[in-house]
Amino acid sequence: MGRRLHRIAVNADLGKDAVQGMLDTINRTSHEYALSQDQVTEGLETMIAAGMDMKNALAFLPSVAATAQASGSAVNDLALSAFSVSTAFGVTSEKMQQSFDIMAKGGKLGQFELRDMAQYLPTLAASFSSLGYKGNEGLIKLVGLMQTVRIHTADASTAATDLQNIFQKMYSQETAKRFAKFGVDITKELDNARKSGGDVLDTFLRLTQEISKGDPAKLARLFSDQQMYQGIQALLKSPDALARFNEELRNSDGTVLKDNLQIMSDTKAKIDQMTSSATRFMNALGGSIAEPVSATLDAASNYIDFDQAITRGLTKRGLTPAEQTVWRARNYFNPHERGLAAFDGDWRSEEGKIAEKGTLRAAAAARAGDRRQGGARVGAARTLPAAVLVPGARPDPNMVLPDLRLARFPPVSPAGMRAQRDSDRAKALAALDGSGPGGIRAAMMGDGGDVSVALKQGGEQAAHSIEQASMTVGDAGNQAGNAISSAAASITSAGEQVAAAIRAAARDLMRPVGSLGRVNADVGRSGPAVEGAP
């Protein structure tokens, strides 16, 4: 019940503070008229859903419940009737019970019963009120018309359809044209009647009677619509019945109360009141003990879930039932180990669930950011620079690429390899045997070569520099000077020896290849001989 009332409050755009007021009114109304809380709540829901504000809906609710109990009609149908009467005729909550008395009394006067009114009143009331009828007087007029037309029809649905056509087509252009053929400006006559406070429908029926004189043929010339023709004909045939209905409906006060007193005196009503009291007690008791009992039940459920998670965790670890019993005995007072086992069994505390959700949410956000090309974090959006470099245009797909034909790279052949080898050998021999200033042989042999001269001069210059250093340092001690002089002599001799070694190596390089003698080398397993190789 509480959840249902909260939804009604949400639909009425009210807060949770309105729920208690709704519950009090529903309990009181339910007990007073021997209806279930569900029935009364359904009536409240219907009025709120139709668009009525909560204040008026709660004010109308006792009248709706009383009429429903007195007539045996559905509470939601009467609730919709209350909304229609209030909206169409402007009836306030203080006069709503009188409206229900009119409808209840009207249902007894003829064949158009109260349950029929609850079904067709919303549509008929809207059309009828557009003709200028307001308040409970307008409702009395409408109920009398429904009962009068119902006398001449097979069912309430046909009577409601005939009346609806009359209300909608009295001011139609077709009706005005047909009356004009008989010299009557029907629109003007109806407007004058409304301005003077007269009855618009009575004026329409009077003019119709004056033209037709009760002749069905003339009546058919005035009304081409079949339903309108049937309704007008029924009203013209039974003017006395219409007057009688209206008179009796004006004396309908207390009808619902009288009927309720009779209904409430039976055994079923007393049982219904007892049931209502029991439901009210259970709701009150449940509201009082719900919080502590719920806390206890939640704690018990959480313990069971935790223990089952431990079992799952130990099973995942491979422990048998006997081993699990031993493990439980050893770790009964060890919350850390028990928590680890429960964690292995997919148990999470409330805090852990929140943290895990947060982690998953952050991971999802990160993945979403990666999927966005050039995406930036929302938190870093405020730190982005005001201007960024615009990427350059992509290469023109029609750009002509350089010629990469394989013809630019001739294939390697044995003949080409031999030609390249002979060319490299000739260049090397020319360099070794050259007599010009750049020839290596001349440089090595000393024949005008610069290398030998340079080495000799370098050694002499180094010796001279060291001798000067020796003389400078000689003041510090003759022993040191003599040592440095010996070092200078050694360096000069070393320079001459290096020059001689280089000249000897150059002579060996210039000798014929065959004269160097046989060279033995382990070159491993050789392949077949290459044609043309030396």
The string of pLDDT tens digits covering residues 6-27 is 888 888 888 888 888 888 898 8
Query: What is the model's pLDDT at position 513?
Result: 47
pLDDT surpasses 90 at 493? no
* CB distance 112 to 150 below 8 Å: yes
* Residue 377 covered by a domain: no
- Report the mean per-residue pLDDT for the chain: 76
pLDDT surpasses 90 at 179? yes
What is the C-alpha separation between 181 and 127, in angstroms, rounded?
27
Q: Specify the 3-state DSSP secondary structure of 49.
A: helix
Distances from the Cα of 531 to the Cα of 243, 323, 418, 422, angstroms: 139, 83, 11, 15
Residues 449 and 303 in one domain: no
The string of pLDDT tens digits covering residues 364-410 is 554 555 444 444 444 444 555 555 555 555 555 565 555 544 444 45
* CB distance 125 to 103 below 8 Å: no
What is the C-alpha separation between 96 and 102, in angstroms, rounded?
10
pLDDT surpasses 50 at 480? no
Query: What is the model's pLDDT at position 435?
Result: 47
What is the C-alpha separation between 248 and 263, in angstroms, rounded?
23
Residue that the structure tokens 């069994």 belong to: 345
What is the C-alpha separation between 323 and 318, in angstroms, rounded?
9
Question: What DSSP designation does 112 have?
Answer: S
Question: DSSP for 451-514?
Answer: HHHHHHHHHHHHHHHHHHHHHHHGGG-HHHHHHHHHHHHHHHHHHHHHHHHHHHHHHHHHS-GG
* Residue 430 covered by a domain: no
Query: What is the model's pLDDT at position 9?
Result: 87
Please provide residue 176's backbone torsions phi and psi, each rounded to the nearest 5 degrees. -65, -40
* Residue 110 covered by a domain: yes
* CB distance 81 to 63 below 8 Å: no
* Residue 315 covered by a domain: yes
Residues 355 and 502 in one domain: no
Q: How far is CA 376 from the centre of its chain?
A: 22
What is the C-alpha separation between 504 and 211, in angstroms, rounded?
155
* CB distance 11 to 18 below 8 Å: no
Residue span of the structural domain in which 299 resides: 289-362
Q: Place 232 in a pLDDT band, splitting at 50, 70 and 90.
A: very high
Residues 237 and 305 in one domain: no
Question: DSSP for 151-199?
Answer: TTSSSHHHHHHHHHHHHHHTT-HHHHHHHHTTT--HHHHHHHHHHTT--
* Residue 431 covered by a domain: no
Query: What is the model's pLDDT at position 263?
Result: 77
The string of pLDDT tens digits covering residues 215-226 is 888 899 999 899
Query: What is the model's pLDDT at position 492?
Result: 54
Residue that the structure tokens 């998670």 belong to: 309
pLDDT surpasses 90 at 475? no
Residues 308 and 261 in one domain: no
The string of pLDDT tens digits covering residues 408-467 is 445 556 666 677 777 776 776 665 555 444 454 554 444 444 444 444 554 555 455 545
Mean pLDDT of the 267-283 span: 62
Question: Which of these three, 362, 387, 415, is where a domain ends?
Answer: 362
Residues 243 and 329 in one domain: no
Residues 14 and 154 in one domain: yes
Residues 229 and 295 in one domain: no
In sequence order, what are the residues at sequence separation of 6 or more whose Cβ sits closer than 8 angstroms to the Cβ of residue 25? Answer: 58, 61, 62
Query: What is the model's pLDDT at position 200?
Result: 93
Q: Place 231 in a pLDDT band, splitting at 50, 70 and 90.
A: very high
Residues 22 and 120 in one domain: yes
Residues 260 and 339 in one domain: no
* CB distance 143 to 249 below 8 Å: yes
pLDDT surpasses 50 at 55? yes
Angle between helices 267-316 and 37-50 (to 10 degrees): 80
Question: Which of these three, 310, 342, 362, is where a domain ends?
Answer: 362
* Residue 245 covered by a domain: yes
Residues 212 and 298 in one domain: no
Question: What DSSP designation does 318 have?
Answer: T
pLDDT surpasses 90 at 363? no
**Token pair listed for 291:** 């919080």
Residues 240 and 111 in one domain: yes
Q: Which of 481, 48, 167 is nearest to 40 (CA)?
A: 48
513: exposed, middle or buried (Cβ count in 10 Å: 0-12, 13-18, 19+): exposed
* Residue 277 covered by a domain: no
149-158 burial, b at 16+ Cβ within 10 Å, e below that, comes to bbbbbeebeb
* CB distance 231 to 79 below 8 Å: no
Q: What is the 3-state secondary structure (H, E, C) of 198-221?
A: CCHHHHHHHHHHHHHCCCHHHHHH
Percent of the chain with pLDDT over 90: 35
Distances from the Cα of 4 to the Cα of 11, 18, 74, angstroms: 11, 13, 19
Count of structural domains within the chain: 3
The string of pLDDT tens digits covering residues 124-163 is 999 999 999 999 999 999 999 999 999 999 999 999 999 9
The string of pLDDT tens digits covering residues 282-334 is 666 666 666 777 778 878 888 898 889 899 999 999 999 999 999 999 898 88
Question: What DSSP designation does 95 have?
Answer: G
In sequence order, what are the residues at sequence separation of 6 or more whose Cβ sits closer than 8 angstroms to the Cβ of residue 396? Answer: none
240: exposed, middle or buried (Cβ count in 10 Å: 0-12, 13-18, 19+): exposed
Question: Which of these three, 267, 299, 329, is where a domain ends?
Answer: 267
Q: Tell me which amino acid residue 136 is.
A: N
Query: What is the model's pLDDT at position 162?
Result: 95
Please provide residue 289's backbone torsions phi and psi, each rounded to the nearest 5 degrees. -100, -5
* Residue 410 covered by a domain: no
Query: What is the model's pLDDT at position 519?
Result: 46
Give pTM, 2 decimals: 0.53
Residue 445, Cβ neighbours under 10 Å: how many?
A: 17
| Side-chain half-sphere exposure of 213, counting CA atoms within 13 A | 1
Query: What is the model's pLDDT at position 5?
Result: 87
Question: What DSSP designation does 409 have?
Answer: S
Residues 65 and 126 in one domain: yes
What is the C-alpha separation between 232 and 162, in angstroms, rounded?
8
Query: What is the model's pLDDT at position 103?
Result: 93
* CB distance 41 to 4 below 8 Å: yes
